[in-house]
Amino acid sequence: MRSKTLRRKAAAVGLGAFVVLLDQITKAWALRAVPAQESITLIPGLLRLHVTENSGAAFSMLQGAGSFLVLAIVVAVIVILLAIQSSERWWETLTLGLVLGGAMGNLVDRLTRGPGFSDGRVVDWIDPSFFPTFNLADTSITVGVALLLLFSVLSRE
């Protein structure tokens, strides 16, 4: 039983690492593929690729709060790792892995893409016409939290 639990927790951390890798690869691709200050339309009026740098949090809130955001993300990562450690349900462990990967992906940007350490900006590049621009890390956080909530509700029934 213990080895199964350990494998599940390792899988969650591995999933998080995979999300970070995929997030960083897609951001690097977007920076090379999409010309600065331009966009590539994929579905007219609905979806385009447009690279922006966000120094704030979700929806560009807290612009310029770089060091605070880095600290908040580090605390969130620690809390997520502790939650993975104490998790007993497979779905909880894996969905937390998605959230972990998304948080870490954006943390990498904050630490490496800016004028100074922890002053970085997150690269966003997926631009739906009806929603703020986002990236794969944001998607991983959103999907992870949504699945966590869904499974939590379903497991109570």
Cα(5)–Cα(116) distance, rounded to whole angstroms?
Answer: 40
In the annotation, is 127 catalytic? no
Long-range contacts of 21-28, Cβ-Cβ distance < 8 Å, separation of 24 or more: 22/136, 23/101, 23/102, 23/105, 23/106, 23/108, 23/135, 23/136, 23/137, 23/140, 24/105, 24/108, 26/125, 26/135, 26/136, 27/109, 27/123, 27/125, 27/135, 27/136
Catalytic residue, chosen from 23, 109, 124, 127, is: 124
In the annotation, is 138 catalytic? yes
Catalytic residue, chosen from 23, 109, 127, 138, is: 138
Catalytic residues, by residue number, are 124, 138
